[in-house]
A and B are shown apart, each in its own frame.
Chain A
């Protein structure tokens, strides 16, 4: 009997003293990319509800990439669904949608310098001045006004005829004192905001669900709709690309796609005289063109294009492939002559880019 007990105690001790898992702390890693000059930030959304969004940094000159730079520099996670990023005065502003936060980081060291919290579901940030910025939201009918110097919410712009549940404001483009915002989810319009009064002063109905917004060298706004989806009570139609005159706020031209197409990610080159977008293939078009080109800039080659950007200096085209959405995505870099220059793995679901 005694022997049995001794064996039992030995067994229990083995079990109890076996090392156990620890939820690890990160280690702050020093970075200084100021010498590298121009670089590209990649916002990797990560998987919704898993908090595994990351930030990558690519140096086009050396063709080197650093992944998870926010975590490595700050020893904390970026959050859940990194949606977008902009840079102003050496500070990068990273919008993390489902973490209800916008982080401000030093763009050379990736160190956090501050954060704006308690946002509803932030999507994009746009600076009106050094001490005033707008942050658009989904599932909220308000655009948040913030003071970026104090990291404070200072007010709201309520969007007319928009319920909280159906709230969706997205990308912002400024022309003079007016700011234009595309309203996407179960919406069909571009709104115009007077940045002096913080009021919506006008709106322009386009097609169903305009997804992105840019302004070319001729002060023309470009947006592309996704057309909704099959069975949607809001409607389902062929998507379109729109050219809108910012001054008169009227549609100049509508380029219709085939029913069932999924165009997205309208981008401009550095001189803002060409637009690019994704629609299975990668497309390029002069901003003065009257029709969509017959052949794509880069044909579909089995990749799942999810993000797109054009280098403002070289015209290189960067396309993100999300693969199966649960592994590191791949970014392909093409020259403006369609030559593959480089490819590199980044984080999960690379969706947005930001040039340093």
Chain B
């Protein structure tokens, strides 16, 4: 490991020694942009009262090996529940469950319609050019069902002029290889981009297993010694391929056409638990996925109005195989489940401005899902074969209209009305009201407040999964309120400082939870009412310390009590009034970047308070998830030659080699390293 670290440092020093002297223009071009602080009059009317977190390209494009789960972990107040490295990563937004966060990619919802949630470990951040979080009520502007909020992901034209190529190779600990290639072509009208990411690793990181001991026996099979073994992350390999093709055409006369097509081919083993006493050679536990997502878009823009139309399609094939060696290397299926999802998508949006004081918008989207789920092959009582599963289709229609009014520069109000239909069920009208106002032009102090109702329909698995699906489930529903204040000060090219504080409160009824049944399977029920509330703080500082030194700091802090306020389930129930399990009450992130000439140093830190594993919030010896801090650093050097730009980067993750868990029995990797070499030829 030390040799690898020395190698990284050596590469970086070599890079520094051979770099050409940079011009004054370079640091301005490559350093941190310190934008002019937006004056209150320039606040977009479209965003009146919304609580939004936007991720800049530096956070998204920091490292080709990052997934959106990593970006959210270190740059937002969202709690990411990770089951391991390159393993399922779900989010808890404002203390809600993973299916309460709606996720869209270029406008199309990509939440799994069977499960409701999104696995953020399957979204490479290098494929995302624009990402933002819509907190709580603000998600109603885009979609329904976001009881916690929404994550908007999209791609953008590369703004290429002629042909361009970028290739980055990454090599890291645990025999991890990451490769990224991007080809671009652009002119006044056309922008074409092809991106590919391939990541693979046996992922066999070592850890001291605190959960189990190895026995040493004497000849009579008496235990003479026990010890905590150093184990590898067994059965955790992965191979992920992502391809993204984009074509944009701009008429230059107010019409833009776009095509985005994203293909995923993933093959991941599911790592064994720390308490598994089986042999990894005897079992094969694997999940495979092939997904295609395509979106065609058309924007028609005029001076006072805009019309957009989108059409899209998603195909997902997922396979889960759990096999056992029954002798002679023959692997027999214990579980063989398959699912296929076809989603057809269409959307139209319209915007109409009346002067600078009024904006009216309307939106209608349709997602038609057709799902086949095959969970088990069985032989029936009559001897014929059968498959345990279901086939269902469901249209999901969502429409909204809004009116946004800014009578004076310092005040704005926005009203949104949304209506949704899932299958044949309609939600009641979903209203949302937003206001904002400038309290002081000095410091750009802006106050915002919003209120909305919201509903989330049960997922297809909630309703129909065999065994256990519950067709009698009710929709989850809730009211959310938030209010906050923000400021922004700065001087262009010198510094910018901004911050915000937001208070929020949500009441969610009929929360759906899957519970075991006496029949040995799980089944969902509407069992909880939840009061989630808290405070979110954000801060951002960019400073040009000198012409050559630049500093960027970004921090978040969240306090998110998420309390079960339902009725006791049985007389012995101790969960009422307690924090929901696996939702941290406190979380915080800090990321910093210091740049000097072509060098930049990145530091990322996150903190999660203790997560309870029991609804009663009792802490047991076997169910403990203490708080943890995580620190990652990276050092990067850009080299500029006449023939190409080069970038060299070394990263250290889990800097202090913490032994930690995000989920019980799922150890996370200790300190690990990576080096990345990128080249962008100049044609």
Q: Cα distance A113–B381 when bound, in Å?
A: 43
Of chain A, the residue at the smallest CB distance from B213 is: A76
Of chain B, the residue at the smallest CB distance from A209 is: B519
Chain A residues 46-74 with CB under 8 Å of chain B are 46-54, 67-68, 71-72, 74
Of chain A, the residue at the smallest CB distance from B523 is: A229
User: Nearest Cβ distance between residue A75 and chain B, in whole angstroms?
Assistant: 8
| Contact between chains at B626 and A165 (CB < 8 Å) | no
Confirm or deny: B660 has a beta carbon within 8 angstroms of a beta carbon on chain A. yes
Confirm or deny: B659 has a beta carbon within 8 angstroms of a beta carbon on chain A. yes
Confirm or deny: B663 has a beta carbon within 8 angstroms of a beta carbon on chain A. yes
Of chain B, the residue at the smallest CB distance from A27 is: B621
Q: Which of B215, B521, B658 is in CB contact (< 8 Å) with A115?
A: B215
Segment among B27-35, B234-242, B275-283, B643-651 that sits at the interface with chain A: B275-283
Confirm or deny: B307 has a beta carbon within 8 angstroms of a beta carbon on chain A. no
Q: Which chain A residues border B621 with CB–CB below 8 Å?
A: 26, 68, 71-72
| Contact between chains at B518 and A306 (CB < 8 Å) | yes
Of chain B, the residue at the smallest CB distance from A48 is: B516
Q: Which of A15, A21, A71, A120 is in CB contact (< 8 Å) with B622?
A: A71
Q: Which chain B residues border A329 with CB–CB below 8 Å?
A: 572
Q: Which of A50, A167, A324 is in CB contact (< 8 Å) with B613?
A: A50
Q: Which of A76, A149, A304 is in CB contact (< 8 Å) with B570?
A: A304
| Contact between chains at B516 and A24 (CB < 8 Å) | no
Confirm or deny: A233 has a beta carbon within 8 angstroms of a beta carbon on chain B. yes
| Contact between chains at B378 and A229 (CB < 8 Å) | no
| Contact between chains at B273 and A80 (CB < 8 Å) | yes
| Contact between chains at B626 and A324 (CB < 8 Å) | no
Segment among A35-43, A243-251, A289-297, A341-349 that sits at the interface with chain B: A341-349
| Contact between chains at B210 and A24 (CB < 8 Å) | yes
Q: Cα distance A177–B19 when bound, in Å?
A: 84
User: Nearest Cβ distance between residue A257 and chain B, in whole angstroms?
Assistant: 13
Confirm or deny: A326 has a beta carbon within 8 angstroms of a beta carbon on chain B. yes
Q: Which chain A residues border B326 with CB–CB below 8 Å?
A: 142, 164
Q: Cα distance A67–B543 when bound, in Å?
A: 56
Confirm or deny: B252 has a beta carbon within 8 angstroms of a beta carbon on chain A. no
Q: Cα distance A62–B445 when bound, in Å?
A: 66
| Contact between chains at A80 and B515 (CB < 8 Å) | no
| Contact between chains at A325 and B516 (CB < 8 Å) | yes
Confirm or deny: A12 has a beta carbon within 8 angstroms of a beta carbon on chain B. yes
Of chain A, the residue at the smallest CB distance from B573 is: A323
| Contact between chains at B278 and A117 (CB < 8 Å) | yes
Q: Which chain B residues border A209 with CB–CB below 8 Å?
A: 519
User: Nearest Cβ distance between residue A43 and chain B, in whole angstroms?
Assistant: 13
Given the known interface contacts A323-B569, A327-B574, the answer about A121 and B275 at a Cβ–Cβ threshold of 8 Å is: no
Confirm or deny: B182 has a beta carbon within 8 angstroms of a beta carbon on chain A. no
User: Nearest Cβ distance between residue B6 and chain A, in whole angstroms?
Assistant: 22
| Contact between chains at A114 and B223 (CB < 8 Å) | yes
Q: Which chain B residues border A301 with CB–CB below 8 Å?
A: 571
Confirm or deny: B160 has a beta carbon within 8 angstroms of a beta carbon on chain A. no
Q: Cα distance A50–B621 when bound, in Å?
A: 14
Residue interface mask A126-142, B partner, CB < 8 A = 1: 00000000000001101
Confirm or deny: B42 has a beta carbon within 8 angstroms of a beta carbon on chain A. no
Main secondary structure of the interface of B (DSSP, over half): loop
Q: Which chain B residues border A121 with CB–CB below 8 Å?
A: 334
| Contact between chains at B273 and A327 (CB < 8 Å) | no
| Contact between chains at B615 and A115 (CB < 8 Å) | no
| Contact between chains at B570 and A226 (CB < 8 Å) | no
| Contact between chains at A264 and B518 (CB < 8 Å) | yes
| Contact between chains at B656 and A20 (CB < 8 Å) | yes
Chain B residues 440-477 with CB under 8 Å of chain A are 466-469
Confirm or deny: A174 has a beta carbon within 8 angstroms of a beta carbon on chain B. no
Main secondary structure of the interface of A (DSSP, over half): loop
Q: Which of A21, A67, A75, A234 is in CB contact (< 8 Å) with B626?
A: A21
Given the known interface contacts A1-B545, A21-B626, A21-B628, the answer about A233 and B570 at a Cβ–Cβ threshold of 8 Å is: no
Confirm or deny: A18 has a beta carbon within 8 angstroms of a beta carbon on chain B. yes
Confirm or deny: B629 has a beta carbon within 8 angstroms of a beta carbon on chain A. yes
| Contact between chains at B622 and A54 (CB < 8 Å) | yes
User: Nearest Cβ distance between residue B654 and chain A, in whole angstroms?
Assistant: 10
| Contact between chains at A234 and B386 (CB < 8 Å) | yes
**Number of A-B pairs whose CB atoms are under 8 Å?**
261
User: Nearest Cβ distance between residue B590 and chain A, in whole angstroms?
Assistant: 7
User: Nearest Cβ distance between residue A112 and chain B, in whole angstroms?
Assistant: 7
Q: Cα distance A301–B335 when bound, in Å?
A: 38
| Contact between chains at B620 and A67 (CB < 8 Å) | yes
Q: Which of A51, A188, A264 has the most chain B CB within a 10 Å cutoff?
A: A51
Q: Cα distance A49–B379 when bound, in Å?
A: 27
| Contact between chains at B622 and A323 (CB < 8 Å) | no
| Contact between chains at A118 and B615 (CB < 8 Å) | no
Residue interface mask B212-224, A partner, CB < 8 A = 1: 1101010001110
Q: Which chain A residues border B518 with CB–CB below 8 Å?
A: 226, 262, 264-265, 278, 306
Of chain A, the residue at the smallest CB distance from B376 is: A165
Of chain A, the residue at the smallest CB distance from B660 is: A21
Q: Which chain B residues border A218 with CB–CB below 8 Å?
A: none
| Contact between chains at B217 and A114 (CB < 8 Å) | yes
Q: Which chain A residues border B380 with CB–CB below 8 Å?
A: 233-235
Given the known interface contacts A12-B603, A165-B333, the answer about A326 and B614 at a Cβ–Cβ threshold of 8 Å is: yes
- Name the interface size band of chain B: 35 or more
Given the known interface contacts A24-B210, A68-B622, A99-B276, the answer about A233 and B387 at a Cβ–Cβ threshold of 8 Å is: yes
User: Nearest Cβ distance between residue A311 and chain B, in whole angstroms?
Assistant: 21
| Contact between chains at B333 and A164 (CB < 8 Å) | yes
Given the known interface contacts A49-B273, A235-B381, the answer about A164 and B324 at a Cβ–Cβ threshold of 8 Å is: yes
Q: Cα distance A51–B575 when bound, in Å?
A: 21
Q: Cα distance A120–B279 when bound, in Å?
A: 10
Confirm or deny: B332 has a beta carbon within 8 angstroms of a beta carbon on chain A. yes
Residue interface mask A155-196, B partner, CB < 8 A = 1: 000000101111100000000000000001110100000000
Chain A residues 306-338 with CB under 8 Å of chain B are 306, 321-330
Residue interface mask A13-25, B partner, CB < 8 A = 1: 0011010111111
Q: Cα distance A306–B276 when bound, in Å?
A: 25
Q: Which chain A residues border B629 with CB–CB below 8 Å?
A: 15, 18, 20-21
Confirm or deny: B623 has a beta carbon within 8 angstroms of a beta carbon on chain A. yes
Of chain A, the residue at the smallest CB distance from B277 is: A101
User: Nearest Cβ distance between residue B465 and chain A, in whole angstroms?
Assistant: 10
Q: Which chain A residues border B211 with CB–CB below 8 Å?
A: 51, 76-77
Chain A residues 244-282 with CB under 8 Å of chain B are 262, 264-265, 278
| Contact between chains at A234 and B378 (CB < 8 Å) | yes
Q: Which chain B residues border A149 with CB–CB below 8 Å?
A: 221
Confirm or deny: B21 has a beta carbon within 8 angstroms of a beta carbon on chain A. no
| Contact between chains at A21 and B658 (CB < 8 Å) | yes
| Contact between chains at A52 and B623 (CB < 8 Å) | yes
| Contact between chains at B615 and A326 (CB < 8 Å) | yes
The 10 residue pairs across chains A and B that have the minimum distance between CB atoms? A51-B665, A21-B628, A233-B386, A100-B278, A139-B334, A330-B572, A327-B616, A101-B277, A51-B275, A79-B275
- Chain A residues in the interface with B (C-beta under 8 A): 1, 4, 8, 12, 15-16, 18, 20-26, 46-54, 67-68, 71-72, 74-80, 96, 98-101, 112-115, 117-121, 139-140, 142, 149-151, 161, 163-167, 184-186, 188, 208-209, 226, 229, 231-235, 262, 264-265, 278, 301-304, 306, 321-330, 343, 345, 347-349
27 A–B pairs (Cβ distance < 8 Å), ordered by A: A20-B656, A48-B516, A50-B665, A51-B211, A53-B622, A76-B211, A79-B275, A80-B665, A101-B278, A114-B217, A119-B278, A120-B334, A139-B322, A139-B324, A161-B379, A165-B377, A185-B520, A226-B519, A232-B466, A233-B380, A233-B386, A264-B519, A302-B570, A303-B572, A304-B569, A327-B615, A328-B574
Instruction: Add 9 more A-B contacts to A48-B516, A80-B275 (CB < 8 A).
Output: A50-B665, A79-B212, A99-B277, A114-B223, A115-B277, A233-B380, A262-B518, A326-B613, A328-B618
